[in-house]
Amino acid sequence: MSLPDVPSSARRTLAIVGRPNVGKSALFNRLARDRVAIVHDQPGITRDRITAECTLGRAPFEIIDTGGIGEIADAAFHERVRAEAELAVAAAGAVALVVDGRAGLVNADREVAEYLRRAHVPTLLVVNKLDEPKHDTLDADFARLGFERVLGVSAAHGRGIGDLVEAVEALLPPPPAPEEVVVSEDGDPVIVTRRRAPRIALVGRPNVGKSSLTNAILRDERTIVSEIPGTTRDAVDVPGVFNGRPYVLVDTAGIRHRARHNTSAEVFSVMRSEKAIERADICILVLDADAGVTRMDRHVGGLIQKASKPCVVALNKWDLAAAERGKQAMKEFRAELLQATADEMFFLSHAPLIALSALKKEGIGKLFESVEAVRVASVASTPTGPLNRVLRDAMDRRPPSPRFNKRFKLLYATRAPDESSISPVPVPTFVFFCNDVRLLLPDYRRYLESKLREEFGLSGLPIRLRLRGREKRGE
């Protein structure tokens, strides 16, 4: 996987930059219409680049939130934060320079403005925190920065956001067509709807190497890596390409027990990680192969299971585990993993399990081959004839147990069409027409799901079953 090689002039991307604590993350959330970035009074909360989609205008465009540049808000990470902001500017089609209207013009604003002029990127000067009409004249102080486009907004209250979106759209290139016409093998034109890039969330407990794995996948130090647990605070969206197919990686803060959070910012970080699972198309559960399975690993897996998300398990730091456990390490660890997760994470028994080393960049190709296999399986068709034969054979080999003096009978099965034609990794949904929905017991339900995965190559995918009981006579 690598970073997309696209000229900045062709990108529909807005980078939000400025010195610390001017309201960049609040503006980012307002444009994203969601609380993606953490907003906090403590300067320096945002360390990595965070991306989301803005849908407030005529067509969606990408927005990037960055750590503050121009002042030292967090000495331990200052140089990396500045580098992240500079990379975001280099990748953007336009930039919003955010300043604090109530604080007035300061030297740090001048430094950032000078950097942007040297970067030769289209720039909007956004004067934030103009919460009331009486504040509107405060933007005059910033005319000395010399930018042609100056807009006053209040990210907290939504004032001026419509004008800002309109100005951004004027700077960005036109959007690609949502549909394209292709020619089929028989020569007929076919309209194909483009599916968005799959969003892949790297999740796990703190310090298992999620950010290192993100950087290894991208072959770029795109997220800040540190031995300090909790370095990643936001869920960081990072676009990239693997074998010519685009993906969006979501590097998340480590999830740990709520009682162990030291600050309110850390509480918000874990909430973002949990939400990242919900909005992901595929989850990569990152485990520390050297440490083995922990209670928090099982908890994170439970969140993936509850959200019904496709999953691949990445056993990171495998080089350390293999050195200590020897050649049988993979077999033993897999048995340990399945035993430890048998109750609440039973789906991992059929999730692809990849051993890798983010530090040595080993196993990354196999990881994304598994991710791609999950994606391909999710959109593959399941013919009705073979589907019913597989289920009929499975039930003949192992008949269901009786309940209420009756047995579950499957009359007919079919795979439901995708709920969304543009969903990149739709969850396979099967409709069972049966005699009585109450007769399908949980254990037998899992048995039939496992047969479907085995016969139709649905490894790593959750399966939804919709039961339709036969109407009783006289009703």
Q: What are phi and psi of 192, to 5 degrees?
A: -115, 125
Classify residue 82: in a domain, yes or no.
Answer: yes
* d(C-alpha 238, C-alpha 13), whole Å: 13
Quick one: average pLDDT of 90-109?
88
- 282 and 395 assigned to the same domain: no
pLDDT at position 322 is 67
Quick one: average pLDDT of 397-403?
94
Q: Is the pLDDT of residue 230 over 90?
A: no
Quick one: average pLDDT of 418-426?
71
Q: Is the pLDDT of residue 365 over 60?
A: yes
* d(C-alpha 405, C-alpha 325), whole Å: 51
- 232 and 360 assigned to the same domain: yes
pLDDT at position 458 is 93
Q: Is the pLDDT of residue 332 over 60?
A: yes
pLDDT at position 274 is 74
175, 207, 223 - which closes a domain: 175
How does residue 224 score in pLDDT terms, banded at 50, 70 and 90? very low
How do residues 294-329 score in pLDDT, each as one tens digit?
888 888 888 898 889 999 999 888 887 666 666 566
How do residues 255-305 score in pLDDT, each as one tens digit?
544 455 454 444 444 565 677 788 889 999 998 887 878 888 888 888 898
Q: Is the pLDDT of residue 168 over 70?
A: yes
* d(C-alpha 238, C-alpha 310), whole Å: 19
How do residues 176-194 score in pLDDT, each as one tens digit?
655 454 455 555 555 555 5
Classify residue 24: in a domain, yes or no.
Answer: yes
Cβ contacts of residue 282 below 8 Å, gap of 6+? 198, 199, 200, 201, 309, 310, 311, 312, 371, 374, 375, 425, 460
CB 436 within 8 A of CB 406: yes
Task: Say which range, 57-61, 72-76, 169-173, has the weakest mean pLDDT.
Answer: 72-76
pLDDT at position 327 is 59
Q: Which of 4-13, 73-82, 286-295, 399-408 has the highest mean pLDDT?
A: 399-408
Query: Six-digit token pair at 100?
Result: 């604090």
Distances, alpha carbon 373 to alpha carbons 132, 352, 376, 458, in Å: 53, 10, 5, 9
How does residue 216 score in pLDDT terms, banded at 50, 70 and 90? confident
pLDDT at position 281 is 92
Classify residue 188: in a domain, yes or no.
Answer: no
- 158 and 304 assigned to the same domain: no
Q: Is the pLDDT of residue 474 over 50?
A: no
- 315 and 363 assigned to the same domain: yes
Please report, for the domain that includes residue 63, its CATH number. 3.40.50.300
CB 398 within 8 A of CB 374: no
Percent of the chain with pLDDT over 70: 69
For the chain, the average pLDDT equals 77
How do residues 191-207 score in pLDDT, each as one tens digit?
555 567 888 988 888 88
Classify residue 187: in a domain, yes or no.
Answer: no
Q: Is the pLDDT of residue 146 over 80?
A: yes
pLDDT higher at 8 or 327: 327
CB 434 within 8 A of CB 408: yes
Query: Six-digit token pair at 98?
Result: 């955010």
Quick one: average pLDDT of 131-141?
87
How do residues 104-122 score in pLDDT, each as one tens digit?
999 888 888 888 888 888 9
Q: Is the dihedral of CA 81, 265, 275, 350 positive or negative?
A: positive
- 15 and 147 assigned to the same domain: yes
- 310 and 237 assigned to the same domain: yes
- 265 and 357 assigned to the same domain: yes
pLDDT at position 6 is 41
CB 43 within 8 A of CB 23: no
pLDDT at position 302 is 85
- 105 and 159 assigned to the same domain: yes
379, 411, 427 - which closes a domain: 379
Give the total number of structural domains in the chain: 3
Query: Which own/partner pairs from 81-85 qualify as long-range (CB within 8 Å, at least 24 positions apart)?
Result: 81/44, 81/47, 81/224, 84/47, 84/48, 84/49, 84/224, 85/15, 85/17, 85/49
E-strand spans in 229-310? Answer: 236-242, 245-251, 282-288
* d(C-alpha 115, C-alpha 130), whole Å: 25
Quick one: average pLDDT of 422-434?
89
| Residue whose token pair is 């050649």 | 327
- Return the closest-CA partner of residue 448 out of 417, 409, 416: 409
Cβ contacts of residue 267 below 8 Å, gap of 6+? 258, 261
pLDDT at position 272 is 59
Classify residue 138: in a domain, yes or no.
Answer: yes
Give the chain's largest Cα–Cα span. 85
Phi-psi region of 409 (alpha: psi -120 to 50; beta: other; left: phi over 0): beta
Classify residue 401: in a domain, yes or no.
Answer: yes
Task: Find the helix packing angle between 78-91 and 107-119, rounded to 10°.
Answer: 40
- 90 and 233 assigned to the same domain: no
* d(C-alpha 222, C-alpha 209), whole Å: 14
pLDDT higher at 43 or 318: 318
CB 357 within 8 A of CB 363: yes
Classify residue 182: in a domain, yes or no.
Answer: no
Q: What are phi and psi of 11, to 5 degrees?
A: -95, 135
- 104 and 13 assigned to the same domain: yes
Quick one: average pLDDT of 367-371?
92
Domain residue limits at 122: 8-175
- 215 and 362 assigned to the same domain: yes
- 349 and 404 assigned to the same domain: no
CB 47 within 8 A of CB 224: yes
pTM given for the model = 0.64
* Residue 299 per-residue DSSP state: H
Residue type present at position 222: R
125, 142, 175 - which closes a domain: 175
Classify residue 474: in a domain, yes or no.
Answer: no
pLDDT at position 233 is 38
